[in-house]
Amino acid sequence: MGTPASKRQAARKPDITGVALVPLAIFFLLALAFPFLPLGDLGAFLLQIGFFTLVAGIMALSWDILARSGQVSLAHAAFYGLGAYGYALLLKTGLVWSLAMPLAALGAGVVSLLVGAVTMRLSGMYFAIATLAFTEVVRTIIQNLPEDVAGGANGLLVPALLGGNSRGQYLLALLLLALTASVSLAVRTGRLHHAFAAIRQGEETARVLGVSTVRYKLAAFFISSFLAALAGVLYAGKTFFISPLDTFSLANSIAPLTTSIFGGLYTTLGPILGATVLRIAEEALHNVVKNGYLVVYGLVLMLSILWLPRGLMGLFRRGRHGGDL
Amino acid sequence: MDLFLQTLLNGLLQSGIYALVASGLALAVGVVGIVNFAHGEFLMLGAFMAWAASAFLGIDPLLSLPIVAVAVFGVGALTYRVSIRHVLLAPELNQMLLTFGLGILLQNLALMLLGGNTRTVTTPYQASSLNIGELSIGGPKAIAFGLAVVVLGALYFTLYRTVLGRQMRAVAQNRRGAQLIGIPVDRVYLIAFGVSCGLAAVAGVLVSVLLFASPTVGLVFALKAFAIIVMAGLGNLTGVLWASVILGLSEALVQTYVPGGGGWSDAVFFLMIFGTLVIRSFRKAA
């Protein structure tokens, strides 16, 4: 017994070194410079790809924050969609976008607490199954609601974000990705990190050690869903049209988890890096593989788990100790 | 009253297929300890095989059924060998995501190769129906239900009356203990996973006759099978049967008696999951 004070200090000390922060800072600087580059005729197209890469980054990183507590969510599409629909419906009531955005995210977060309160007392398998089913059901409900409420199967028109200024939209997405990254870093360096890691590595043990596991898992789910909903708002504002089939598509649950695993689970840079690589690959491959593009995601997911369980980040830090960083 | 009886009958007939899909899934969860998110895709594979045999070779789905079942058993066994086996000791998260990735891969491969259209299998007995008093049963539905009962009977006989079945149940109860008394655990896993996929394929053949074959047909059935095994308790093989009947009946009742029920009956399975989880988490907390 009697943990030496020095050891406890070591456990508390943030183990993100400058080494990890530098590439992250470089990424954000490059991303910030991107819309101001002289891109010529392709500029608008590239800016759009950039925008959706940032949205994919928010989705992947927010999925990862939840995964750190050992929960596999297959419902990221649901919260993305709830964000998009919540935003659209709030705008219809006449709210300004800057208020509608956080409120929509908050709404999705509250829903996640309700779903989580029921599913998170049981083993992780139940959670994964329930989240997959939850996505399908939210879509069914929105499709079956009367058309004047949420547009039914035909979908809804959404006013363009920032009046359609694509550079502004890009910068807003970058700001929200920066917010997501800060949350991720805060979780990584703070108390939550130890709670999440303990729960992931052995929930029973964590509970015995005095970690109130359900509360921490709910916190992870809330943060994750809140951020995913923000990504949904960005999507709705950019495409100014949302429909149940597109918004709640399983693809929107698949992409973040694949991206995060491919990039490097439980890291901040990994999911962002993964999103950049996979989104660019998607644009490049889109003309080759038209139908069933998700085949690539399925393949990347399987191969990553079998042969690259630490993702792209694992390639860079092969020598360093501690697979679970 | 007749409407009520007819509704109950339809629900019961539907539950045969649900039980087939869910018992396969329960076998994978219970014995191998893997929640197979690609289960629906093995069903889809079976449906397409039956469609191909019927469309290109003119073989009736009921005749191609055993061949399809064996073929998909092989595919399942192979899947176990090259992928599942390597994550048995990995964290749960990796296991679930591996099968999820496999499911996405298979589903979209089918979409790429065959397109999103639905394919129907035509059979001579398609339009036939059986009449009992005021009630009527579609011929294919009755045949499908009968087949489901026979296949499930064979499954439960194997599980409870043969050496292989005893081995499976032993492995399900305690992997290490089973290994210690000399049960070839790896082989049992391989067979159990193969049989699990084979059962999904049998259901797929029936679905191709009753409904259609399409790349996404598996997902719906897989979700319902999840609801059933959640209700029965993950890995509980006997509970699957009555849980299937409950799902089949409640869906039929919603379809008949809730206005606009066609759309809402697709949400019934989720209520089942949610209801079960609420009850179970409270029981656990108490």
ipTM of the complex: 0.85
d(CA A231, CA A59): 6
- Which of B108, B112, B224, B254 to mutate against chain A (most A CBs within 10 Å)? B108
Domain residue spans of chain A: 42-249
Q: Is the dihedral of CA A283, A284, A288, A293 positive or negative?
A: negative
CB contact under 8 A, B223 and A133: yes
- DSSP code string of B149-172: HHHHHHHHHHHHHSHHHHHHHHHH
pLDDT in tens, B38-67: 999 999 999 999 999 999 998 888 899 999
Q: Residue B137's beta-bridge partner residues?
A: B130
Please report the pLDDT score of residue A52 as a whole number. Answer: 94
CB contact under 8 A, B280 and A133: no
Instruction: Give the one of A258, A291, A306 whose C-beta lies nearest to B111's C-beta.
Output: A291
**Phi and psi angles of residue A160, each rounded to the nearest 5 degrees, phi first:** -65, 140
Which residue range(s) make up the domain with B215?
Answer: 2-285
Instruction: Give the one of A72, A126, A289 whose C-beta lies nearest to B97's C-beta.
Output: A72
Give the distance from residue B219's alpha carbon to the nearest chain A alpha carbon, in angstroms.
10
A42-249 has which fold? ABC transporter involved in vitamin B12 uptake, BtuC (1.10.3470)
Q: Chain B partners of A293 at a C-beta cutoff of 8 Å?
A: 108
A16: pLDDT confidence band, cut at 50, 70 and 90? Answer: low
Rg (CA), chain B: 19
**Antiparallel, parallel or unpaired: β A241-242 and B129-132:** unpaired
Task: Among A72-81, A132-141, A311-320, name the most confident range.
Answer: A72-81
Tens of pLDDT along chain B (286 residues) come to 688 888 898 899 999 999 999 999 999 999 998 899 999 999 999 999 999 999 999 888 889 999 999 999 999 999 999 999 988 988 888 888 999 999 999 999 998 888 878 888 888 777 777 777 777 788 888 888 999 999 999 999 999 999 999 999 999 888 889 999 999 999 999 999 999 999 999 999 999 988 888 988 998 899 999 999 999 988 788 899 999 999 999 999 988 888 766 677 778 888 888 888 888 877 766 5
Which H or E run contains A56?
helix A43-67
Answer yes or no: is pLDDT of A3 > 60: no
Is this prediction's pTM over 0.80? yes
d(CA A68, CA A219): 12
Largest CA distance in chain B: 59
- Buried b / exposed e along A274-310 (16+ C-beta atoms within 10 A): bbbbbbeebeeeeeeeeebbbbbbbbbbbebbbebbb
Instruction: Give the one of A74, A134, A289 whose C-beta lies nearest to B270's C-beta.
Output: A134
Please report the pLDDT score of residue A107 as a whole number. Answer: 96
Give the distance from residue A55's alpha carbon to the nearest chain B alpha carbon, in angstroms.
22
Closest C-alpha to B143, from B213, B208, B225, B238:
B208
Give me the CATH number covering residue B34: 1.10.3470
pLDDT in tens, B164-198: 999 999 998 888 899 999 999 999 999 999 999 99
| Cα angle A242-A245-A250, degrees, rounded to a multiple of 5 | 115
Domain count, chain B: 1
Q: Chain B partners of A299 at a C-beta cutoff of 8 Å?
A: 101, 105
Q: Any chain A CB within 8 A of the CB of B279?
A: no
